Amino acid sequence: MSPYRLSYLKELESESIYIMREVAAEFKNPVMLYSAGKDSSVMVRLAQRAFYPAKFPFPLMHVDTSYKFPEMYEFRDKFCKEIGAKLIVERNEEWIAKGCHPLKMGIEKCCACLKTQALLDALKKHGFDAAFGGARREEEKSRAKERVFSLRDEFGQWDPKNQRPELWDLYNAWINEGQSVRVFPLSNWTEHDIWQYIKLENIPVVPLYFAKKREIIRKNNRLIPISYYSNENNNTHSEIENHQTETVMCRFRTLGCVPCTGAIESYATTLDDIIKEVDEVKKSERENRLIDTTGDSAMEDKKKQGYF
């Protein structure tokens, strides 16, 4: 092989860095959405690389539903402090106060208020004209056709029929008043790549990704962590009584909100184990997120409304 060819991880890295620099140069007020998940961790590392030896020239923003795992909050605060990043946390306080919860309002509605609306409000409040997101095309069918620069109208909506063609690496950063752009620098990464890169780069991630014994209940083939049921605010004790609790070796493949994220049975306690598992298990990654399975085109519909 020619020594002048990058390994595929380095090639993906280089492409992502290029995208980030384009955004920093062409937009007035970019922000990087940060969820404390593994993709966010990789994205932040790429941003550090892109602007080294300077700090990356945009803040991180966490759109918090208040239902994230405690480990995630802890990780987030420590991580951001360590790397000296500016972190903005935004929440839809109005709906959180009203007790918006998937069990009460349904998953769709809850996501619409606490994620989609909160995100749109936050972008508007700060006047961000470009927002980096860690979504990957491989994750879900409808994302396969998503652009790297995804144009959103003033309501944050995505129109799959009306996407700009994206040619070579010439990204069109011109937008009209009120429009904004969601930028996906990890578009071409797969779950496998993400873990390989985390290993290569020694990137810290939330411990929930690693298998350990956890107390759960089984519900429609999903392992729901018990900690969610002990949430005082929700009248869910009866649920626990109806279900058997168990202690099993499990880990989280993706991290969303506690009520809607299931764990998978797993013995993967190290990065190598995880990489091996990702290669072997062959279940699509978002399978354990309730939100994607509510309808065949669930994700696509949500994106049209402005979900990431």
Partner 1 sequence: MSTKDRSAFDSLPLKTKEFIMYTKEKTLVRLVTIGSVDDGKSTLIGRLLYETNSIFEDQYAAVEKTSKKKGYDEVDLALLLDGLSAERQQGITIDVAHIYFETPARKFIIADSPGHVQYTRNMVTGASNSELAIILIDARNGVLTQSKRHGFIVSLLQIPHMIVAINKMDLVDYSEEVYQGIMTEYEEFSAKLNIHDIMFIPVSALKGDNVVRKSNRMPWYDGPSLLHYLENAHVAADKNLVDFRFPVQYVIRPHLDFRGYAGRISSGTISPEEEIVVLPSGKNSRVKSIITYDGELPEAFAGQSVVLTLHDEIDVSRGDMIVRTHNLPQAGNHFEAMICWMDEKPMVKDSPYIFKHTTKDLRAFITKLSYKIDMNTLHRQTTDTFELNDIGRVELKTSLPIFFDPFNVNSKTGSFILIDPLTNNTVAAGMIRGVAKTVENVLEDVSIEEGAQKKSPHIVWRGWNIPRGTREDRNRHKAVVLWFTGYSGSGKSTIAKVLEEKLFKMGCRTMVLDGDNLRHGLCSDLGFSQKERSENIRRAGETAHLFFEHGNIVACSFISPYRADRAFVRSLFPTDRFLEVHVKCDLEECKRRDPNGLYKKALSGEIEKFTGISDPYEEPEKPEFILETDNLSLEQCVENLILYLQKKNIIHS
Q: Taking the alpha carbons of 69, 227, 237, 103 in that order, is the dihedral positive or negative?
A: positive
- How far from chain centre, in Å, is Cα 228? 20
Q: Is residue 157 near partner 1 by the rule CB under 8 A?
A: no
- The residue (of 64 and 138) whose beta carbon lies closer to partner 1 is 138
Q: How many other C-beta atoms can be found within 10 angstroms of the C-beta atom of residue 199?
A: 15
- The residue (of 2 and 233) whose beta carbon lies closer to partner 1 is 2
140 closest CA partner among 292, 305, 306, 245: 292
- The residue (of 155 and 168) whose beta carbon lies closer to partner 1 is 168
For residue 259, say if its preceding peptide bond is cis, omega within 30 degrees of 0. no
| Residues 111-150 interacting with partner 1 (rule: CB under 8 A) | 129, 137-138, 141-142, 144-145
Which residue of 82, 155, 168, 202 would you call a contact of partner 1, by CB under 8 A? 168
- Whole-angstrom CA distances from 55 to 38, 103, 130, 191, 203 are 21, 42, 18, 27, 17
* Nearest distance in Å: CB 279, partner 1: 8
Stretch that binds partner 1, among 6-14, 209-217, 248-256, 261-269 (CB under 8 A): 6-14
- The residue (of 100 and 263) whose beta carbon lies closer to partner 1 is 263
Q: Which parts of this chain interact with partner 1 (CB under 8 A)? A: 1-15, 17-18, 21-22, 24-25, 28, 48-55, 129, 137-138, 141-142, 144-145, 160-161, 163-170, 172, 174-177, 187-188, 190, 192-193, 281-284, 287, 296-297, 300
